[in-house]
Amino acid sequence: MSNRSDRNVEPIPDIKTDINTEVNSDRESDPSERSESTEVQMIEKCEAKTTGAIKTGKIDLNDVVAEFNQTVMRLPKVSALTPKRQSQIKARISEHGRKAVSVCFLKTDKSDFLCWLNERGWMASFDWILKPENFVRIIEGIFDNKVSIPKNLQGAMNNLTNQMSCNKGGDIFGL
């Protein structure tokens, strides 16, 4: 088929430009996309720093605050390291260890309840997290997200549970 015009058309010139296609992999676009390996790496990095700090007899509390700010992405950042916060951090590290503080921060970031997604729109603060009773509850998983079974599958789960209890020693299919 021919063009509607009888003119000769010149081809589009080949313009070559350098386009930087490098991707900055240091930043993560979405905190929910963080992988378990990244969390393990963060804990290992923290343990390495802690080991060095314990050998020198000094734990850098600014590193703890920096870790909170990097790990807990859904809560406001800590901007001031007050004397009260310093004593709370030292107390939690002496009671539970530096690794437990890192685990607490990871669990806090993963908890929808602690990060605004609750009935009241409440959120945990850095000071609330470091209170002794709250710290332990976070570590124990009290605020972990719960997996709920949809209502349309609850009946099937109850039937399956009943079948399993009736067939002690056998499998759920009665074989």
Q: How many CA atoms lie within 13 Å of 116's alpha carbon, on the beta-carbon side? A: 5
Q: Is the per-residue pLDDT at 93 higher than 80? A: yes
Q: Is the per-residue pLDDT at 109 higher than 90? A: yes
| pLDDT attached to residue 125 | 95
Cα(32)–Cα(30) distance, integer angstroms: 5
| pLDDT attached to residue 31 | 47
| pTM score of the predicted model | 0.56
Higher pLDDT, 129 or 5: 129
Token digits of residue 44: 């290992």
Average pLDDT over residues 113-117: 88
Q: Is the per-residue pLDDT at 4 higher than 90? A: no
3-class DSSP state of 108: helix
| pLDDT attached to residue 85 | 95
Average pLDDT over residues 118-137: 93
Task: List the one residue out of 134, 135, 127 whose CA is nearest residue 103.
Answer: 135
Cα(41)–Cα(82) distance, integer angstroms: 29
Judged by average pLDDT, the poorest of 44-48, 76-80, 90-94, 104-108 is 44-48
H helices of 7-150, in order, are 36-56, 61-71, 83-96, 98-110, 126-129, 132-139
- Which range has the top average pLDDT, 25-34, 101-110, 159-168? 101-110
Token digits of residue 16: 């070559």
